[in-house]
Structure 1
Amino acid sequence: MRTPPTTWRARTRTAVAAAALTVTAMLAAPPAHAGGAAPPVLTDGFGLTQVAGGTEVHSDDDFTITVTTPQVAGKHKIRIFLPSGYRTEPGKRWPVAYFLHGGPGNPDDAAAAPALRSDSMITVVPDGGRKGWYADWLMQNTAEGAANWETFHLKQVVPFIDANLRTIADKRHRAVVGLSMGGFGALHYGEARPDLFGHVASLSGGIDFGMAEVRAAVLATELNITGAWCAVSTSTPSGTGRCTGYGPTVDSDAIFGSPYPVLNADRIWKAVDPAAPVNLAKLAGTDVTLYTGDNDVIDHFTAIAARNVKTRMDTLGLPSRLVDYGDGSALAPTCDGGHNYGCWAPALADYVPRLQDSFDAAG
């Protein structure tokens, strides 16, 4: 059942309107920090080593660290938005939202969604790779090198953040939110670790691996076939001119193995399929929200995937919320119903106040 836009609360309408007015300006990279308070000093651990000189300070409450880990080849950024009261209330602990970007994006894409800068929570944006798909890859010897993204995030980044920042380290005060590729990641992580996340939100996510079109999207990133995706705007912020591809070409079986349903060759796809009832059942007790448009070649299929997930959760007797904003006209002036931040920023402006209320209700 779809949530009618006309039922949204007045506060949410105000937040959505504000996002619509500011999203264009926020698409640009944030200005360099001109001074002010230094970011918190974080201590290495859980397999993460900070790169000397790799910290970027964007403002008093917005900074990025760079880390290395044996789990994922290369250097990787983690951007952190602190609530404005983090420094002035040193005895207070805060809930945390993990935001998973899309492909071929990076943690700086979060700047395009003003609602993620919340004074009610810490927001953490880890690198997910241009085509990491929030998974531990089947093949670890491709041109991408080590690619255990799920291990990096769930067994390293989450405990690292809890050890270094004043978080409330329980599932009732921890959310995972993602869009596009990250929309898959959010729902998958919620299912893989229901002990970690009490709140899950997927925006325009590739969340039904039973659909050939969704599997094809994964293959397109593995094979670096960018043309069709760039033509309709990718999951990087629109207006930046960025659609630089998904990195080096890797084997089409590199992430989840063979996608073809012959003699159970696609067993990994089925095992991690977020829409599979056996996986959805793991979300009992988790707040689940889905957003999607339905007005371009990508979101046409993410809408089908979201409806499939919603229907199956209803069948399982599990509550969830689906906002299908169609062509976007009822969501925000910036939204055309397509696969872009013009829709995702106001969708997040709708979601974040609701998440704040849930955190508050948890005590």
Structure 2
Amino acid sequence: MKSLPPARRLRAKTAVIAAAMAVTALLATPPAHAEGSAPPVLSDGFGLTQVVGATEVHSGTDFTITVTSRQLSGPHKIRIFLPRGYEADPGKRWPVTYFLHGGGGTVDDAAAAPALHSDSMITVVPDGGLKGWYADWVMQNTVMGAANWETFHIDQVVPFIDANLRTIADRAHRAVVGLSMGGSGALHYAESRPDLFGHVASLSGGIDFGMAEIRGAVLATELNLTGAWCAVSTSSPSGTGQCTGYGPTVDSDAIFGSPYPVFNADRIWKAVNPAATANLAKLTGVEITLYTGNQGVIDHFTEIAAKNVKARLDQLGLRSRLVDYGNGSTLARTCDGGHNYGCWAPALADYVTRLQTSFAMTS
């Protein structure tokens, strides 16, 4: 700068100082969606061991951990959305919603439904496998190895979350919601453990195993027959909604045993059928919500399944809410009434708003 005139030297020095201050300010400012400097550190337990260095931090209130469990073969992810006020109010406890993704999907599908990242609750999105069907499989010696998905979620993930995060750990403040394959899982989990879940919602769920078409969907995942269920039940990073399949082929009896109603060979299907009257009767006191469209091959059948469940709940005298949005015109401009996030995202926005109200009323 010695070769420059005094005025120019001053301007140059001022510009350097301003640039340095700008860089310092930028480095000191957290991302727009961050809350605090980092998500909370979680402790291993309940059969779950975190994979060191595998945590993905999307923001201070949106992060994914990877865990191993003897109940499942291989590592599996759990994505967690925290309310923006979680760190700022260390004395506050929060309701929890568990979101179960569809077949061929991943924990990242939840990002396609912004309503799930609520400032009124914690949302937990555990891996459900490409074809886990939220069940403890009959066959544990397939190429998939250990596959006790229900035990993983109910006996490990739920207590792990309650031990590590400031949850309100009672059924009145815990919900389970899922779509497609996850819709079946959500209803089954609520029936299996009504002491844990006081709220359940199924969106376009494969919730009636008494229907041959729903059993066929399960078989398609076991045999990796990619089709309509796989193609639109996930949310890919590119936004195409395409999935890459259901993973390695397994025996058609691997998950629920034989699907054929001969000499009671399908007894396990009957026992775990979310639409069975005996199972629905376990939902006394649970807030039940069903969503479905009726367009396309898939939601044509999920509408039938939802209506079957609604009719049986009515016969049992159990209150429930069925939102059949048909071709989607009454739900949102993005919804065509089909099996996709264009419908599920606004349906979840509707549900989460109502769920937040229910949580608040029981606080």
TM-score, normalisation: structure 1: 0.89
Shift, 1:240, TM fit = 3.3
Aligned counterpart, 2:210: 210
Residue pair 1:176, 1:197 contacting (<8 A) in 2 also: yes
Q: What code does the residue aligned with 1:202 have? A: S
Q: Which residue of 1 aligns with 2:99?
A: 99
CA 250–174 in structure 1, closer or farther in 2 if over 3 Å, else same:
same
Tell me how far apart the structure 1 counterparts of residues 353 and 151 of structure 2 sit (CA, whole Å): 30
Going from structure 1 to structure 2, the CA distance change for 1:200 and 1:298 (only over 3 Å counts) comes to same
SS of 1:207's equivalent? coil
Letter in 1 for 2:233: T
Q: Which residue of 2 aligns with 1:245?
A: 245
Change (3 A) 1:241 1:187: closer
Aligned to 1:88: 88
8 Å CA contact 2:235–2:241 kept in 1: the answer is no
**Aligned mates of 1:230, 1:158 — CA distance in 2:** 27
Identity %: 80
1:21 aligned partner: none
| 1:192 corresponds to | 192
Summarize deviations over 1:62-106 as a string: whole Å, max 9, x none: 000000000010110000000011000000000000000001001
For the pair shown, the structure with the greater C-alpha radius of gyration is 2
Matches of 2:34 and 2:273, distance apart in 1: 45
Give the CA deviation at 1:243. Answer: 1.6
Instruction: Give ranges in structure 1 of 5+ residues lacking alignment.
Output: 1-30
Q: Which moved more, 1:222-231 or 1:162-171?
A: 222-231
Aligned-pair Cα RMSD in Å = 1.6
Give distance in 1, aligned partners of 2:91 and 2:318: 37
Tell me what 1:201 maps to. 201
Taking a change above 3 Å as real, the CA distance of residues 38 and 302 of structure 1, as seen in their structure-2 partners, is same
1:175-186 to 2 correspondences below 5 Å:
175-186=175-186
For the structure 1 residues 35 and 207, does the alpha-carbon distance in structure 2 shift closer, same or farther, using more than 3 Å as the test?
closer
The 3-state SS of whatever aligns with 1:335 is coil
Aligned to 1:234: 233
Alignment-derived partner of residue 278 in structure 2: 278
Structure 1 residues 173 and 33, CA gap change in structure 2 (3 angstroms): closer
Is the 8 Å Cα contact of residues 36 and 87 (structure 2) preserved in structure 1?
no
Partner of residue 4, structure 1: none
Is the contact made by 1:102 and 1:236 (CA closer than 8 Å) also made in structure 2?
no
TM-superposed deviation, 1:118: 0.4
Q: 1:36 to 1:173 in 2, by over 3 A?
A: closer
Aligned to 1:3: none
Summarize the Cα distance change of 1:316–1:46 in structure 2 as closer, same or farther, 3 Å threshold: same
**CA distance in 2 between partners of 1:350 and 1:295 (Å):** 20
Moved more, 300-309 or 239-248: 239-248
1:120 aligns with 2:120: yes
Q: Work out which structure has the larger RCO, using CA pairs closer than 8 Å and 6 or more positions apart in sequence.
A: 1
How far the C-alpha of 1:38 sits from its partner, in A, is 1.2
Residue pairs, 1:297-316, within 5 angstroms: 297-316=297-316
Q: 1:236 is matched by which residue type in structure 2?
A: S
Gaps of 5+ in 2: 1-30
- 8 Å contact kept, 1:104–1:236: no
Residue 225 of structure 1 aligns with an amino acid whose one-letter code is L
Distance of aligned partners of 1:32 and 1:106 in 2 relative to their CA distance in 1, 3 Å threshold: farther
Other structure's SS at 2:296 match: coil
Query: Normalising by the residue count of structure 2, what TM-score does the alignment of the two structures yield?
Result: 0.89
SS of the residue corresponding to residue 74 of structure 2 reads strand
The alpha carbon displacement at 1:241 in A equals: 5.5
2:223 corresponds to: 223
